[in-house]
Amino acid sequence: MRVVYATYPRSGNSLMRKYFENVTGTATGSDQVIKHSPNLALQFCGFKAEGITDSRTWINKTHFPFTLPF
Amino acid sequence: MCTRFQLDADPSFFYLTYCLCHSGSFKAKLTEDPILPYWQNWQRLCTLAYKQWFEHWLHIAETTDKPVYFFRFEDILSQPEEELKNLFKFILGMEDIEGTVIERRIQDVMNMGSKKNQVYKPRQGGTNRNLANYSPQQIEFTKNYNEDLFHIFGYIKDD
């Protein structure tokens, strides 16, 4: 079973991912493109599965279907 | 799916987009030049985007067999243990997690201090601390445009 953790941007998703990772002991994934600096920063901050949504992860963050409004 | 009151999320999102980092902000206030016109335009567009985004997930919950659990970021801040227990009951498909390993791990995490949830130093902000960034016209437009969503998620009290 895979879990999609959907949030509108800037709604505390990193805080919640940290809770998920501490409680489950597993890395949370995300569908974010790792080449952008804010997403790369999250990987450096400890989210080792940033940019990964395959079978290696259980709970995956997404902002889908959000696109920047310009 | 996690919700947050739009008037708290928008300033943080504006800073992230224009600073390209999670903790940075400007010395100038959002309500003053030279930032003001960029902020007003951004916030208006975000009001439209906020509606589209939440209506997408409400539509998924209403029209598909995919189980969707809605919770509020504000509740995670105010009562994290309770919210985490409810969330893991949903994820694991259990009516009660009392006495389980996951309940014990939640309690262990609650005792971790700031390490339990902090990834980076958060920007100044928080819940209901952002109204000074908005003009009365912005607040009126936002509340009118997304009134239904604010009612659904309990950000505006029903009459």
Which of A6, A22, A67 is opposite residue B57, by nearest beta carbon?
Answer: A6
DSSP character string of chain B:
-EE--HHHHHHHHHHHHHH-SSS---SS-TTSTTTHHHHHHHHHHHHHHHHHHHHHHHHHHHHSS-----EEHHHHHH-HHHHHHHHHHHHHT-S--TTSHHHHHHHHHHTSGGGGT-SSPPPS--TT--GGGS-HHHHHHHHHHTHHHHHHTTSS---
For residue A69, tell me if it sits in a domain.
Answer: no
Give the best residue of B59, B104, B117, B129 to mutate against chain A (max A CB count within 10 A): B117
Residue numbers of the domain that contains A38: 3-62
Closest CB to B13: pick one of A10, A41, A47: A10
DSSP letter (8 states) at residue A1: -
Higher per-residue pLDDT: B67 or B34? B67
d(CA B22, CA A41): 8
Helix, strand or coil, per DSSP, at residue A18:
helix
d(CA B18, CA B128): 22
Nearest to A23 among B4, B50, B106 (CB): B106
| Interchain contact, A15 vs B76, CB within 8 Å | yes
Query: Residue A68 falls within a domain, yes or no?
Result: no
Residue A42 lies in a domain: yes
- Residue in chain A lying closest to B12 (CA): A10
Residue A38 lies in a domain: yes
Does the residue A70 lie in any domain? Answer: no
The 3-state DSSP class for residue A35 equals coil
Mean per-residue pLDDT, B53-77: 96
Nearest CA-CA distance, residue B10 and chain A, Å = 8
Q: Which residue has the higher pLDDT, B90 or A69?
A: B90
Instruction: Give the count of Cβ contacts less than 8 A between chain A and B.
Output: 106
Average pLDDT rounded to a whole number, residues B114-139: 76
Task: Give B53's contacts in chain A (Cβ within 8 Å).
Answer: 8, 63, 65-66
Residue A13 lies in a domain: yes
Average pLDDT of the residues in B50-75 = 96
- Identify which of B50, B117, B120 has the shortest CB distance to residue A8: B50
User: Is A19 contained in some domain?
Assistant: yes
Asked whether residue B111 carries a pLDDT value surpassing 90, the answer given is: yes
Higher pLDDT, A30 or B159: A30
Q: Mind telling me how many Å the CA of B22 is from chain A's nearest CA?
A: 7
What local confidence, expressed as pLDDT, does residue A45 receive? 83
Q: Could you give the 3-state DSSP secondary structure of residue A21?
A: helix
Q: Share the mean pLDDT of chain B.
A: 90
User: pLDDT confidence of B115, banded at 50, 70, 90?
Assistant: confident
Q: pLDDT per residue over B6-53, tens digit each?
A: 999 999 899 888 877 767 677 678 888 888 999 999 999 999 999 999
- Please write the tens of the pLDDT for every residue from A5-60: 999 999 988 999 999 999 999 999 999 887 777 778 888 888 999 899 999 999 99
Q: What is the mean pLDDT of residues B54-82?
A: 96
What predicted TM-score, i.e. pTM, was given to this entire model? 0.89
Name every residue in A having a CB less than 8 A away from some CB of B: 3, 5-19, 22-25, 37-38, 41-42, 45-47, 59, 63, 65-70
Does B98 have pLDDT greater than 90? yes
The total domain count for chain A is 1
Please give the pLDDT value at position A56.
95
